[in-house]
Amino acid sequence: MIARIASLFCGLTCSLIVAGCTRSDVPDPADLVLSNAYVYTVDDSRSVAEAVAIRGDTIVFVGSAADAAAYIGDDTDVRDMAGAMVMPGLHDMHIHALGIVEPDMCDLDSEALSLEQMVPVLQGCLEKYDIAAGDWLIVLQWAFSRGNQTSENLPNIRAALDAVSTEHPIFLWGDDGHHGAANSVAFANARNGQGDVVGISAATLETDFAEFKPMIAVDARGEPTGGVNEDARMLIRPNFFEDMLGMGGAAENTMPRVAAKLAANGITSIQDAIVSPESLAAYEWLQESGQMTFRLKAAMIEPESESIDAIDAHLAFLKELRAKHEGSELIRVNAVKLFADGVLEGNPLSSPPTLPVAAMLENFKQPIFGGNIDDGTFGIKGYVDQGRDVCKSVQADPKSFSTADRVGEFESEYGFYPQQCIPTSGILEHDEAFIRAYIRKATEAGFHVHVHALSDKAVRIAVDEFGKVKDIADKQNLTQSLAHVQIAHPDDQKRIGELGVSVVFTFVWTTPSIQYEMMVAPFIDELSGTEDLYNLDNYYMKNVYPAKSIQQFGGVLVNGSDAPVGSRDPMPFASLQQSIYRSNGENVMNAEERIDIHSAIAAFTRNGAKLFGHADRLGTIETGKVADIIAINQNLVELADSGEVSRIGETEVLLTVFNGKVVYPQAADD
């Protein structure tokens, strides 16, 4: 009735009031109208409207609720949003989407457990999944950076996993995608480069596995204590993609759940940051099934070989995949992913402390930890002076200080371990020459290059090479991006801005955590204690996740959840909150790097669209653009303006429209 009255009124207005007006001035009815809303368009002027009309997959009207009435016909789906906030669909430009749904296997769900608590939980997995002796127990989402407190009986993670079973090889995948842990059976089964089973031990770490030594946690005698990072994990369990990233399941079982979860989170465009031919096939299946609720930019996996000579053949293969999907509406195979480094977490609870892996511009500090976690006395007791005479002796002849007796005597006399005398600044994921060559060759081949760079050295190398190939990228209208940027030297922050590079921050990682900061900051700065962790005079805290600085220099801020890293839930609104809050309510992770609410929303919408390469069609709510739109239960702008930023993370999606169709919530018969 309302639609017919509105149509009649428009017709009367046209014929009786406006001279020369014809019925062609009356718009065709829309398929969907969202009215009585706070429509935050994210356009250039950040304009706010009351209503949106959609016909087919296109936005045909943005404006007042009164004017939207002209687009309402007999068959129009009209939704009164009761003042809810409506905004563009979210872009998650660094996600491993196949891993966001839980597989049917042992999963610790990122719960912080002490080693004593972990043992019975994992024994329960052995029983639940009826794993036969000799078969693997694979454990997902191990919270490597929280919990894991040792005990007298369980001095390290290897001892804990041995307590679970000495009949099963056990492997834990850290919830960050870079850490892992194994028991003695698993370590004993490790194969060397020739395929021989030699096991990982103090002896083989000096021979067969010498190149992996920085990635394997060891005790004072050099024996593995269970922790394995980065590529060292593949020596024990090479099934990373199948296990951690969910690439082992059947597409028909996994992919509809992926689509549903993204839609429920309001995510309508993604960049999957590690896509193999196998996982690409799963996305293809989803598109062909008609159940795809998002657009995909596939950042294809690196070549298996680290030889520069292998790059050309790898890119030739990727060109074939790109051409195959040239006409695809929802899938673009036009990006590559490159790991420049690993991660920056050390382990203060091991003896000696395990150093971070990722390469820094300066050498790591060597903190001396002491005290007890249970009674709150654990902390930084001092630092090793690597310039003292005894350390110079170790540096000159480290083998003389490697026997168990000598290590024990040394630690008793000096209060630290001989290994802590050896200067190190971490390692890159690949040789610098390979990193530079891959960026250049991929850019020349017309691929967007997306580089994982957490540490300042990796950031510097990637940004320097981005600068060298910028003209090539610009001529092909290619974007360049960095992922994470946990720490960047001020000079490189400026250079990122000058080049207009996109930085995909996982903003939820800016939530302070003393336990986490203790795994990183004491190895980069000499701190007086935990009270010094958030001191802006320190290099790490001053330059950690430097979002505001990069933005001010001209860099483009973009959101990327990295799910299932940290959590299987992409948590878009928790991340958006932390981009402008950077606090846990008690500590703040450098308030100077907070961005404002409008910049934050742009990072999740229009900036992501720019990085994706479809900003001309998506990322804002404007007439003529594709209708990827969401409605949420809280007004983000009002919450920020009223000082209620800490509530933003509670936001829930009410409605997700993809390509003009409502995909969340799904109709009962869908």
- The predicted model scores a pTM of 0.88
Q: Are 619 and 43 contacting, i.e. CB atoms less than 8 angstroms apart?
A: no
Per-residue pLDDT at 375: 75
pLDDT tens digit string along 229-255? 888 888 888 887 777 655 566 889 899
Q: Which CATH topology does 104-243 take? A: Diaminopimelate Epimerase; Chain A, domain 1 (3.10.310)
Collect contacts of 382-387 with beta carbons under 8 A, ≥24 apart. 382/415, 383/526, 384/416, 384/420, 384/421, 386/420, 386/421, 386/422, 386/423
What is the mean pLDDT of the segment spanning 132-140? 92
Residue 140 main-chain phi, psi, to 5 deg: -105, 160
19: pLDDT strictly greater than 70:
no
Q: Are 558 and 607 contacting, i.e. CB atoms less than 8 angstroms apart?
A: yes
In what order do the strands lie in the sheet containing 48-49? 48-49, 38-40, 85-88, 629-632, 653-658, 661-664
Per-residue pLDDT at 667: 65
Per-residue pLDDT at 619: 98
Per-residue pLDDT at 130: 92
668: pLDDT strictly greater than 70:
no
Per-residue pLDDT at 57: 98
Angle at 164 between CA 158 and CA 165, to 5 degrees: 95
Per-residue pLDDT at 22: 44
Q: How far apart are CA 41 and CA 251, in angstroms?
A: 35
Per-residue pLDDT at 597: 98
Per-residue pLDDT at 178: 81
Residue 606 main-chain phi, psi, to 5 deg: -65, -35
Per-residue pLDDT at 11: 39
Q: Are 633 and 652 contacting, i.e. CB atoms less than 8 angstroms apart?
A: yes
Listed by start position, the domains of the chain span: 2-88+620-664, 104-243, 251-341+431-507+553-583+594-612
What is the mean pLDDT of the segment spanning 201-222? 87
Whether 104-243 and 2-88+620-664 are alike in CATH topology: the answer is no
**Reported CATH class of domain 2-88+620-664:** mainly beta
Per-residue pLDDT at 570: 97
Instruction: Assign domain 251-341+431-507+553-583+594-612 to its CATH architecture.
Output: Alpha-Beta Barrel (3.20)
Per-residue pLDDT at 7: 42
Question: What average pLDDT does the structure give for the chain?
Answer: 92
Site of tokens 């718009």: 27
Residue 24 — pLDDT band, cuts 50, 70, 90? low
Residue 4 — pLDDT band, cuts 50, 70, 90? very low
pLDDT tens digit string along 466-478? 999 999 999 999 9
Residue 358 — pLDDT band, cuts 50, 70, 90? very high
Output the 3-class SS for 605-617. Answer: CHHHHHHHCCCCC
pLDDT tens digit string along 606-655? 999 999 999 999 999 999 999 999 999 999 999 999 999 999 999 999 99
Q: How far apart are CA 522 and CA 300, in angstroms?
A: 35
Q: How far apart are CA 621 and CA 335, in angstroms?
A: 26
Q: How far apart are CA 169 and CA 148, in angstroms?
A: 20
Per-residue pLDDT at 289: 97
Q: Tokens standing for 469?
A: 């190939």
Q: Which helix (H) or strand (E) holds 267?
A: strand 267-275
Other CB atoms within 10 A of residue 92 CB? 31
Q: Which of 286, 292, 329, 265 is nearest to 664 (CA)?
A: 265
Q: Which helix (H) or strand (E) holds 433?
A: helix 432-444
Q: How far apart are CA 175 and CA 156, in angstroms?
A: 18
For residue 44, the one-letter residue type is D
Q: Are 604 and 90 contacting, i.e. CB atoms less than 8 angstroms apart?
A: yes
What is the mean pLDDT of the segment spanning 354-371? 94
For residue 532, the one-letter residue type is D
Per-residue pLDDT at 2: 39
670: pLDDT strictly greater than 70:
no
Residues in Cβ contact with 275 at an 8 Å cutoff, skipping those fewer than 6 apart: 283, 298, 299, 300, 301, 333, 337
Per-residue pLDDT at 458: 98
Q: Which of 160, 150, 143 is nearest to 349 (CA)?
A: 150
Angle, helices 456-468/432-444, rounded to nearest 10 degrees: 40
Distance, C-alpha 184 to centroid of its chain: 31
Residue 20 — pLDDT band, cuts 50, 70, 90? very low
Q: How far apart are CA 531 and CA 522, in angstroms?
A: 12
Q: How far apart are CA 444 and CA 386, in angstroms?
A: 45
Q: Tokens standing for 397?
A: 């002849």
Q: How far apart are CA 179 and CA 228, in angstroms?
A: 6
Per-residue pLDDT at 238: 83
Per-residue pLDDT at 13: 39
Q: Which of 517, 148, 116 is nearest to 349 (CA)?
A: 148
Please, is 152 exposed, middle or buried when counting C-beta atoms within 10 Å of its C-beta (0-12, 13-18, 19+)? exposed
Q: How far apart are CA 254 and CA 292, in angstroms?
A: 12
Q: Are 301 and 279 contacting, i.e. CB atoms less than 8 angstroms apart?
A: no
Could you give the 3-state DSSP secondary structure of residue 229?
strand
Per-residue pLDDT at 10: 43
Residue 576 main-chain phi, psi, to 5 deg: -60, -40
Per-residue pLDDT at 303: 94
In what order do the strands lie in the sheet containing 331-339? 90-95, 267-275, 295-300, 331-339, 448-453, 480-484, 502-505, 556-559
Could you give the 3-state DSSP secondary structure of residue 503?
strand
Residue 195 — pLDDT band, cuts 50, 70, 90? confident
Could you give the 3-state DSSP secondary structure of residue 347?
strand
pLDDT tens digit string along 519-559? 999 999 999 999 999 999 999 999 999 999 999 999 999 99
